[in-house]
Amino acid sequence: MRIHPVIPLFPLSFLLFLPFTLATNIDILVGQSGLSFTPNSTTASAGDTLTFHYHGYAHNVIRGDPSSACTPLSDNGEGSGGAFYSGTIPVPDGQDSSPMTFVVTVNDTTQPIWYYCSVGRHCQSGMVGVVNPPSDGQTLAAYAEAAKTVEDAVTPSAVVGGVLVNGTDAGSGGVETSSSLMVAATIETETMSSTASTTEATPTQTQVVLSNGTTSTPAPSEGGAMGGRDIGGVLTFLGFLLSLV
């Protein structure tokens, strides 16, 4: 009588009990309905992203100091304390919105995220918003009311704390243009010319070109995408599995 092997499933079953959360993206329309953010109040969890879409003429988004309306949150301009500034994003003539968006990742949910637009007198006119508004104390209406008395809205000196994405480039997802991005590698396929006098097929190699100019060329595998020895190994393994049935 052949004994069928029992394959234990317990090493994988624990994966079902691992806690995990899925990050959510929240779209915020900047200036689509006049001098306002839509929505101007929302909630977000840690790891969620805020994507600001620009409409109208020209606007920006700045994280504000909760105690001083129309003034940036101060963290030495490095964004490490949660500050962000998108820069002023114009809308091209004849278009309803800019192809540029500004994406901010929410890392701290213990404090409200107040933000405003500093172009002209937009902040003083009520172009303010909040993420994770407090349950008591200052309200968005109170923040907007305080903004009315501000003489000049303050604009940071440089873009910080988020990623600008140009939606017109690289149709599948846009191009990130933030200095905080990781070094990307581009993949180029080159056909290597043969120096031999034979008529053997010219091999191809994939060359990884890093942004610092250095290159790395992996050795080509024998037998194309899967060499003969690789296929033999797979067949041997399959034969072993069938022998256990």
Q: What pLDDT, on the 0 to 100 scale, is given for residue 2?
A: 60
What distance in Å separates the CA atoms of residue 245 and residue 171, rounded to the nearest whole number? Answer: 49
Q: What pLDDT, on the 0 to 100 scale, is given for residue 137?
A: 84
CB count, 10 Å around CB of 75?
15
Tokens found for residue 74 = 């101060």
Whether residue 188 is predicted with pLDDT greater than 60 in this model: the reply is no
- Nearest 5°: phi and psi at 31? 80, 10
The 10s digit of each residue's pLDDT in 33-68 is 999 999 999 999 999 999 999 999 999 999 999 999
Q: Is the pLDDT of residue 218 over 60?
A: no
Query: Higher-confidence residue: 55 or 185?
Result: 55
Predicted local distance difference test score (pLDDT) of residue 1: 57
In this predicted structure, the answer to whether residue 239 has a pLDDT above a threshold of 80 is no
Res. 21: pLDDT tops 50: yes
Rounded to the nearest 5°, which phi and psi values hold at 19? -75, 140
pLDDT for the residue numbered 64: 97
**102-137 pLDDT per residue, tens:** 999 999 999 999 999 999 999 999 999 999 999 888
- CA triple 47-129-67, angle to 5 deg: 95
* Domains identified in the chain and CATH numbers: 17-176 (2.60.40.420), 185-193+201-244 (no CATH)
pLDDT (0 to 100) of residue 96 = 94
- How many Å apart are CA 49 and CA 26, to the nearest integer? 6
Q: Out of 58-67, 149-158, 218-227, pick the least confident.
A: 218-227
141 pLDDT higher than 70: yes
Give the residues across from 42 on adjacent strands.
131
Q: Strands 68-72 and 62-65: what pairing?
A: antiparallel
